[in-house]
Structure formats: structure tokens, C-alpha cells
Amino acid sequence: MSGQQHPAAGMSLYSNMLRWQLIATGAVTLIAYAVGNQSAAISALMGGISVVIAAWFAAKIAEKGSNKTDPTAILLNLLKAEAIKILIIAIILFVVFRLYHALVPFALISGLAAAALFSGAALAKSQVDV
């Protein structure tokens, strides 16, 4: 395959991952609302959205390095993207903990975990020819 097809394949991969994260976050939010209350639903939504936002930024960073061929540069770019993702999740969760006083911790963790797990599942299921 030519190098010109890689960015489009990467974008499709990232779009698929983000779509599955949003679906998982929505499902957990609805379950939290049905089982708990509005506070639980908002908590689950905040947990999932923190991962989605962070993954979007990480995908943008990873896309910038998609044209590199040096294995060291590729690895450093992926590590940078992952570090930024973790930092963004931590910042968003810190803000949520400080500002949302009706937080339901189990729901927040459930939303976060669902979005994180489904990102891995979406990447594993994606068929990308590299």
C-alpha cells in the first residue's frame, strides 16, 4: 500500500475508536440513570467523556507522526500521545471532583472504564491494512 493511504486508514481507525467510546459512554450513562438517578448518570457521562476528549487529543497527536518511518520516532510519538491522554483525563477528573458535588464515584469509574475498554476493543476489531 502507498504511504498516502495510511493517514486515511488511521483517521478511520481513530473515528471508529471514538464512536465506540461514545456508544459505551452513552450506554453506561443510561444504565446509571435507570439504576441510580440523574447524579449517577451525570457522573458516568463525565467519566466517559473524559476518556473520549483525551483520546481525541491523543489521536490528533498520533496522526501528526503517521508519516514518520523511524521506529524510535514512531514510538516516541505514541508515548507522547499516551502521556497527553493520561494528563488530560487526570485534569478533567480533577475538575469534575472539585466542581460536581453530587458525584457518584462508582458511576464515574464505570463510565471511564467502559470508554477505556471499548477503545481497546474498537482498535482490536478494526481491520487496518498497514
- For the chain, 130 residues long, give each residue's pLDDT as a single digit of tens: 344 445 455 557 788 888 999 999 999 999 999 999 999 999 999 999 999 999 999 988 888 877 777 888 888 888 999 999 999 999 999 999 999 999 999 999 999 999 999 876 555 555 444 4
Is 42 inside any structural domain? yes
pLDDT at 124: 57
pLDDT at 103: 95
Q: Dihedral (C-alpha) 38, 104, 21, 72: value to the nearest 10 degrees? A: 150
Is 77 inside any structural domain? yes
3-state class of 8 per DSSP?
A: helix
Q: Is the pTM of this model over 0.75?
A: yes
The type of residue at 109 is I
Is 130 inside any structural domain? no
Provide the residue range defining the domain that includes 113. Answer: 5-124
Report the C-alpha gap between 119 and 42 in whole angstroms.
Answer: 21
Is 86 inside any structural domain? yes
pLDDT at 99: 96
